[in-house]
Amino acid sequence: MEIVRPSHEIWTHLDGDEILRHIEHCGRVAYQSDDRTTPDSAARFVWRLIQRGHESVLEHTNITVNFITDRATANELVRHRMAAFTQESTRYVKYDNTRICLTEDAEDHLSDMLDALVESGGAYSGMILDGCAAQTARRVLPLCLATQIVMTANLREWRHVLRIRTARDAHPDMRALMIPLLSDFKNKIPVVFDDILTDTQVVNPCVCCGAETPEGRHVCGACERQRHLKGGE
């Protein structure tokens, strides 16, 4: 038996500035305002779209992410409808060595789970040796079985997924998978995910409007950008 940690890998090449320019180019069709595009207007334009709730324009950009997680967490993930999924199939894959995916917190309870995991792994191996197909033997595999799942979604859907799957009341295993992805997205794509905060972040009140701001900042993104706006889009 092998233990792996939940992880993610972004498979789409991300150029944050280019993504913002693409969204701006699409969004300005609505206003017929291409003439107001400047070298530094994209971030301000996209932020205002988000603040106004005009997030449909974000659907013009898709991102693919590869996850390693457990079957239980993957079962929650595929409930998101506005996305494409391809997952490792227990019908076709035979497991010579059962891999389980556990967070560090879950591993604290490994001794309580060990007997059940060894028993299920032994039952699976025995069924395979007896000639059972993988799709039959999989019935005894545990929910903590490690699985690979690839997800493609547009930016609007990723915002929705990350907002609810990093929330305090989300399952701890899902949060362990999604909070690092949110951080990765924020580092690679300006503006789009700035307003999604988790309770792992220290927040300060904005000196202008009182809204929560990330640690080390005193003005929220909306007020900071408003200072630089001159007129409309």
Residue 231: what pLDDT?
A: 44
What does pLDDT average to over the chain?
89
Residue 134: what pLDDT?
A: 96
**Does residue 212 surpass a pLDDT of 90?**
no
Tokens of 64: 């693919």
Local confidence band at 135 (pLDDT 50, 70, 90 cut-offs): very high
Backbone angles phi, psi at 169, to 5 degrees: -90, 5
* Angstrom distances, CA of residue 192 to CA of 50, 71, 159: 8, 29, 8
Task: Count CA atoms within 13 Å of residue 182 on its CB side.
Answer: 25
β pairing state of 212-214 and 203-205: antiparallel
pTM for this structure? 0.84
Task: Count CA atoms within 13 Å of residue 133 on its CB side.
Answer: 6
Summarize pLDDT for 141-164 with one digit per residue, the tens.
999 999 999 999 999 999 999 999
User: Average pLDDT in the 46-57 region?
Assistant: 95
* Angstrom distances, CA of residue 22 to CA of 30, 58, 83, 89, 162: 14, 9, 20, 36, 22
Local confidence band at 222 (pLDDT 50, 70, 90 cut-offs): low
In order of their start, the domains of the chain are: 2-197 (3.30.1360.170), 202-233 (no CATH)
Angle, nearest 10°, between helix axes 155-165 and 172-188?
140
Residue 26: what pLDDT?
A: 98
Summarize pLDDT for 3-43 with one digit per residue, the tens.
999 999 999 999 999 999 999 999 999 999 999 999 999 99
DSSP-derived 3-state class of residue 196: coil
Burial of 226 (0-12, 13-18, 19+ CB in 10 A): middle
Summarize pLDDT for 101-120 with one digit per residue, the tens.
999 888 778 888 889 999 99
Q: Which of 20, 17, 35, 21 is closest to 233 using CA atoms?
A: 35
Residue 105: what pLDDT?
A: 82
First to last CA, the chain: 57
